[in-house]
Amino acid sequence: MLWNPTVETMPRQAILALQLERLQQTLQHAYKNIPLYQQRFASYGVSPEHLTTLDDLKKFPFTTKSDLRDTYPFGMFAVPLQQVARIHASSGTKGKATVVGYTAADLDNWAECVARAIASAGGKPGDILHNAYGYGLFTGGLGLHAGAERLGCTVVPASGGFTKRQTTLLQDFGATGLSCTPSYAVNLAEALLAEGIEPGQLALRFGIFGAEPWSEEMRKRIETLLGIDAVDIYGLSEVMGPGVAVECAQEKNGLHVWEDHFLFEVVDPQTGEAVPNGTVGELVFTSLTKEAFPVVRYRTGDLASRSDEPCVCGRTHAKMSRIKGRVDDMLIVRGVNVFPQEVEAELLTVPELAPHYQIVLAKNGPLDTMEVHAEWRSEEDSAKYPLDAFHHTLQHALHTRLQIAAKLIIHPPFTIARSEGKAVRVVDRRDL
């Protein structure tokens, strides 16, 4: 179902015209009200008048996470604090939180984007959405909440954690949709199975999962475990929160970016130059309607490619691929680039392994060591295999895929720590 058919199927030419108009307004607004943009534009010798085509955006400087940290907490707000209706923050792993603000109109647009996203995932008015994204400074909980209400769903604001209570609520309230991180979806599915609840016994029909990277293999696992359609939703606090982009349940192949609110570029992370469609690079976003916290060419650190191919669902908004990894979570192990999702994809080709894993990096003298910790799905599965041969085969497959040798350790069921929000996939002890 399309929540806003007029906008979601707008002809490309109309989208581009709308983007140009809104981009000009955004640049003016940011330039006038945020000292960092004034200084930065000046040092590049540009001002908002220099933008007469969408392509002119390339003349403008990038904004980075460190710009947001340097102006902590409210230095990037473009309206007086009295007009800021809500604040969110992302904790980040390094240093200070990134603080973002929303006016009432921003919150309204956000709810619209998320309503479109839930509809794209297969939700409709009257659905019961069990929302297990964390509520609080994290944008996941309140973001999905407002969008679901806008769509006309009944929202169960479960938030993260207290898994036993969640499984009870899922059964008793008859949720038809589930929103949480993919790793928590697996956690919930296992908890349900442990209580003897099989997929299909619940009323669940669709899930809308994001906030962390996940692979196609993980999607298949979740769909089987819960008997649902699992759809990828993307977003980040700096740009808005969840709902910047979403897959459609029809294709499940790439995420439509709501281009009436966001303009996206894909650039080479090293040079900052645009890469061709289909080539993976760093996603860069410019907001087009935000009042409190406009961002111009914000470098997300997320790696994906772009596609302008028409989609069977009828939506005309361009697509980004699923996130392939982050510029900064690409592990460099003994000089080789390793993406945690590659490890996930290889492990999950083995049905007897649970969808939980952790990569541990350490030092042996000057040399990096890499361990991959995996887990059997059940005691019976672990008993099925002649351990040495299995180990050897899988370790070899990992080596071939990653181009680096890793020590594989397979643990008994339920030994790897379960996530309640964003999963911790990598433990890097090399600095210790």
Site residues, ligand DLL (CB under 6 A): 90, 133, 138-140, 210-213, 232-237, 241-242, 300, 302, 323, 326
Closer Cβ to ligand DLL, 39 or 66, answer by number: 66
Tell me how far, at minimum, the Cβ of 31 lies from ligand DLL, in Å: 25
Closer Cβ to ligand DLL, 190 or 232, answer by number: 232
Using CA atoms, how far residue 132 sits from 146, 216, 240, 417, in Å, is: 14, 21, 19, 18
CB atoms within 10 A of CB 325: 20
Tell me how far, at minimum, the Cβ of 52 lies from ligand DLL, in Å: 31
Tell me how far, at minimum, the Cβ of 412 lies from ligand DLL, in Å: 29
Tell me how far, at minimum, the Cβ of 351 lies from ligand DLL, in Å: 24
Candidates 226, 244, 225; CA nearest to 235 is: 244
Closer Cβ to ligand DLL, 175 or 233, answer by number: 233
Candidates 341, 367, 423; CA nearest to 160 is: 423
Closer Cβ to ligand DLL, 177 or 235, answer by number: 235
Residue 31 carries which side chain, given as an amino acid letter? Y
Candidates 333, 350, 305; CA nearest to 402 is: 333
Whether 249 contacts 228, CB under 8 Å? no
Closer Cβ to ligand DLL, 20 or 111, answer by number: 111
Q: How far apart are CA 19 and CA 399, in angstroms?
A: 45
Closer Cβ to ligand DLL, 28 or 71, answer by number: 71
Tell me how far, at minimum, the Cβ of 24 lies from ligand DLL, in Å: 27
Whether 71 contacts 36, CB under 8 Å? yes
Residue 168 carries which side chain, given as an amino acid letter? T
Tell me how far, at minimum, the Cβ of 232 lies from ligand DLL, in Å: 5
Q: How far apart are CA 108 and CA 117, in angstroms?
A: 14
Tell me how far, at minimum, the Cβ of 14 lies from ligand DLL, in Å: 27
Q: Under 8 Å CB-to-CB from 390, ≥6 apart: which residues?
A: none
What secondary structure letter does DSSP report for 231? E
Closer Cβ to ligand DLL, 90 or 103, answer by number: 90
At residue 235, φ and ψ (nearest 5 deg) are 175, 170
* Chain residue at closest Cβ approach to ligand DLL: 210
